[in-house]
Amino acid sequence: MVQNVIVPPRGFRAAACSSGIKRSGKADLALIAAERPVACAGLFTTNKVVAAPVLITAERVHKGICQAILVNSGNANACTGEVGLTDARRCGELAAQALKIETDLVAVASTGVIGVPLPMSAFEQHVPNLALQLDDGKFLDVARAMMTTDAFEKVCSRTLKIDNKECRILGLAKGAGMIHPNMATMLAFVLTDAAIEKKCLESILRTSVDLSFNRVTVDRDTSTNDMTLIMASGLAGNRTLTDNHPDFATFSRALNDLLLELAKMMVRDGEGATKLVKIQVVGAKTDRQALTVAQTVATSQLVKTAFFGEDANWGRIIAAVGYSGVEIEPSLIDIQFDEVPVVTNGVGMGSEVEAKATEVMKKAEFTVTIDLHIKDGTGYYYTSDLGYNYVRINADYRT
C-alpha cells in the first residue's frame, strides 16, 4: 500500500534484515547511514518513563550532528533498567564499528514489547552484515523492519525545487496512530538532501510534527519510545535554508505535507481501522479551543464505534463537544457529514437526513464538520473507527 514512488535523497543508504528479535521471523533490524556526518534534529516522547534508546539518542541528536540510525522492532528496550542503557549503548557501538564512524554519531531507536532485555546476540551477529549491505534502494525494507502491529509499511517522499535545485525528502514511519492512543510507539525518520541550517532544523520539524503526528495522537498519551528524527545531507546543492531564505516556506510546506501523509497512513492503519475520518471544527472562540473539541470528538470511544457501525449517531458527537470543556452554546451547533447537514442549531434534522449521512459513512474517508458559531477559531484532527480488529490485535499482542 505504498502510494508514492520512493525517491531516495542523495547521500543516504540503508539496509534491513530479520535478526530473530521477532519470533515470527519477520524483518526487525535496519540501519540507515549518511555518507558523512550531517545536520540532524529530533523530537522525543514526553512520557516520564523513557526507554533506554530514547535517552541515549536524545543526548546525541541534541548536538545537531549525526550519521546513522540503527532501529529495531520486536523489543522496545524500555523498563529494562541499567542493562537497557548498556545494551542501547552497545547497539550504537556495533553500528559505529561496522560503519567505522564515531559512536556518538549513531542514533538508536527501538519499538516493541516493554520490559524484556534486548537479545544482544541478534545485534552482535547482524549489525556488521547490515553495514555491508547498504544501498539507496532499500528504504522500503527499512520501513518494513520498523513495523510492529502495523498492517503496512509507511513510506513517502517529496521532490521540490529550492534555488532551482531539485531537493528530495523521504519519510519512513511506523505506528498506528489514533486507534492506539495510549502507548503505541511512533517512530518517524525523515531524510533530505536539502541543505538546512542546523539551528532551524528542530523548529521546522516541530512545526510539521504539530500539524501532522500531533493531530492523530493525543499529546499526553505518549509511549516510552516515541521519536522523530530528521537528517539533512545538504547534497542537493541549494543555498543553506534558513528562516530568511525565499524558499523556506516551500520546504516547510513540503515537509508538513509529507508528515501529514505519514500521519494519515498511521490512522488508516489503526490496527483494524476501516475508515479515516477528519474531524473539522470551525467557529470556535480560538484555534486552540477548536483543536480541543476536534481532539475530544476524535478520541471518543463511542464516536469511533459509531463510525465502525456506520451509524450517523450525532448525539455522541454533540455530547463529546459538550464535555470537551471549551466554550460552546448548544443551540448554535451545526454538524455535517461531508456535505450532508445532520444537526442545525443543536437539533437533529431527522431520519431522512441521517440516512444520507449514513451513505457518507460508508466511504473509506469522510469529514465531520462541527461549526460552533462562536467566533472564527478552526482546528482539525484525524481519527479512525474502532472495530473488532482493534480488540483482537491488542488483546493478544504479545502472545
Catalytic residues: 185
Hey, is 373 helix, strand or coil?
coil
- Smallest gap from residue 378 Cβ to a copy of itself (A): 20
Residue partners of 176: CB distance under 8 A and separation at least 6: 149, 150, 151, 184, 266, 267, 269, 270, 271, 273
Mask of contacts with a copy of itself, 60-79, x by CB under 8 A? ----------------x-xx
CB nearer to a copy of itself: pick between 1 and 388: 388
Among positions 102-131, residues that touch a copy of itself (CB under 8 A) are 113-116
Angle at 139 between CA 137 and CA 144, to 5 degrees: 130
Q: Which is nearer to a copy of itself, 84 or 92 (CB)?
A: 84
- Decide if residue 396 touches a copy of itself (CB under 8 A): yes
The reply on whether position 257 binds a copy of itself by CB under 8 A is no
Structural contact between residues 42 and 23, judged by C-beta atoms closer than 8 angstroms: no
- Residue 170 falls in which region: left (phi positive, over 0), alpha (psi -120 to 50) or beta: beta
Q: With residue 365 as reference, give the H or E element that holds it.
A: strand 365-371
CB nearer to a copy of itself: give 1 or 395: 395
Residue 386 touching a copy of itself (CB under 8 A): yes
How far apart, in whole angstroms, are the C-alpha atoms of residue 119 and residue 84?
A: 11
Size of the site for a copy of itself (CB under 8 A): 65
Integer Cα distance of 279 and 218 in angstroms = 14
Of 234 and 283, which CB lies nearer to a copy of itself in the complex structure? 283
Q: Which is nearer to a copy of itself, 236 or 374 (CB)?
A: 374
Query: Sheet containing 276-284: which strands, arranged edge to edge?
Result: 347-348, 340-344, 334-337, 365-371, 276-284, 377-384
- Give the residue with the Cβ less far from a copy of itself, 238 or 300: 300
What are 383's strand-pairing partners?
A: 277
User: Does 242 help bind a copy of itself (rule: CB under 8 A)?
Assistant: no
Q: State the minimum distance, in angstroms, from the CB of residue 84 to a copy of itself.
A: 9
Q: Each residue of 252-279: b (16+ CB within 10 Å) or e?
A: bebbbbbbbbbbbbbbbbbbbbebbbbb
Helix, strand and coil content of the chain, in percent to the nearest 5, comes to 35, 30, 35
Is residue 81 a contact residue for a copy of itself (CB under 8 A)? yes
Cell of 230: 530528521
Question: Which of residues 49, 249, 355, 364 is near a copy of itself by CB under 8 A?
Answer: 49
Q: Does residue 80 belong to the site contacting a copy of itself (CB under 8 A)?
A: yes
Smallest distance from the beta carbon of 148 to a copy of itself, in angstroms? 12
Q: Contact residues for a copy of itself (CB under 8 A)? A: 46-50, 76, 78-81, 113-116, 180-184, 220-224, 300-303, 305-306, 308-309, 311, 313-316, 318-325, 328, 330-331, 343, 345-348, 386-388, 390-392, 394-399
